[in-house]
Structure 1
């Protein structure tokens, strides 16, 4: 029995080595490409919810009135279609898009990249857009909505070109980048860095992290502004023109420019907090 087992092991190793060599030399490619699309009429949709499990998700503007959902991946497992599915259901003017893994235990679901869902939406003002992630990266570009809410358990998030009343983010692990976002900001993150970069600041911004740095940059600051920056373990800095300090310590800054104005409240338990012109 031992001889049979050893022989089987040697054959397996030789076969695997051969496949790897053929792959490296371009003679054999074990990956297959999955490229699926669904299109629905989005002319009456005013609220969108995207829920994803183990996917990268992008929400970007599209052409016309259609909402297009694009599932893409390059995988070894040829039963890829049986392991992932995407569904869309409408209720009134609300659309729910759900992408999930149906067989989380499958070992051979390996790919060059994570499975990706690209959602293209008509360019218009939505009442609300929600993105709920279990594991995966989030990218949102040029979106108009009264409220944008993103929840992420694990993965990086990048939001650029948001226009609306309020942007909310809640995350457990991963970095967050927000660029050129209009509206009030509310960011809560357990582990990861937060970077906010805007041409101008005109609304309140509240950012809170447990472990990670907070950096906020603006090309220009309003004539009236309130600052409340603090960290328990780290440094705080504020390079804001005409800032009058009410309190200034290594890990605490309270200050004012002019009278009133938006409040920038940035708090980190462990990490540095910085506001500066870019």
Structure 2
């Protein structure tokens, strides 16, 4: 039998098997989706730092009640081989809580499902010293977090931060998007491929954003009385629609200027992409 016939036969067998599973599921004779549903709680009364290490699993960081960190790993899959193939573990060292979520079986063609694997982390509402989130791939959402330092790193996935209050935020990604809304503190964000959008009611701290391929957009309702602007687009346009901006340099691809004297530095640089600052 030729390779072409073997491939055709394998494809037919696969399609018939999948169709059979769907028919049995619709008739109620088989549960098509396997549920991954694991929960843990950790006493957070002495926790001031949190470190999250996630392997191809989305992470949601949200506020919770009480004095416990609540962890919930959830996902639904058509591939039954994924049952019991996810691990959620925690460990504590001093005031640091370490959380690890991993998939012991790597992705395959049958990992279709109703929901992607997601680790939801509910933390007590208090000021944390450090929150560090690292993903090999996956999306990260952080809502209403108070921390002196927040660091997020993912190779492939989107990052969204909403209502952050702290001293510094550092975001790093290779592909995906970054969306930041209402963040207090210094922002340092870098992407290899993807767009970055920051929207704040007011700006009071340094902002540094770099992209290799992607647009950068910074929107603010209220700007500080004094600040500096350093914008550059290697291949793209730059635009700064803010009042009272004195230009030291202004070209199609470069804007260097300031309002007043001193204040925070807004440094936005894209190798290939457009760069915008707007007061809304």
Structure 2: state its 5+ residue gaps: none
Q: What TM-score do you get using the length of structure 2 for normalisation? A: 0.92
Q: Alignment length, in residue pairs?
A: 276
State the Cα distance separating 1:96 from its structure 2 match.
Answer: 0.6
In the aligned structure 2, how far is the partner of 1:31 from the partner of 1:224? 57
Match of residue 32, structure 2, among 17, 30, 33: 30
Relative distance call for 1:214 and 1:198 in structure 2 (3 A) is same
Aligned twin of 1:83:
85
State the Cα distance separating 1:127 from its structure 2 match.
Answer: 0.5
Relative distance call for 1:224 and 1:71 in structure 2 (3 A) is same
State the Cα distance separating 1:231 from its structure 2 match.
Answer: 0.8
State the Cα distance separating 1:26 from its structure 2 match.
Answer: 7.8
Aligned twin of 1:198:
200
Aligned twin of 2:66:
64
More off after superposition, 126-135 vs 104-113: 104-113
Q: What TM-score do you get using the length of structure 1 for normalisation? A: 0.92
Aligned twin of 2:266:
264
Aligned twin of 1:104:
106
Do structure 1's residue 116 and structure 2's residue 118 form an aligned pair? yes
State the Cα distance separating 1:8 from its structure 2 match.
Answer: 9.2
In the aligned structure 1, how far is the partner of 2:44 from the partner of 2:173? 29
SS at match of 1:180: strand
The root-mean-square deviation of aligned C-alpha atoms, in Å, is 2.3
Match of residue 167, structure 2, among 128, 143, 165: 165
Aligned twin of 1:242:
244
More off after superposition, 213-222 vs 99-108: 99-108
Structure 1: state its 5+ residue gaps: none
Relative distance call for 1:27 and 1:105 in structure 2 (3 A) is closer
CA deviation vs aligned residue, 1:3-41 (integer Å, no higher than 9, x gap):
xx9999867654533444565788865113222210110
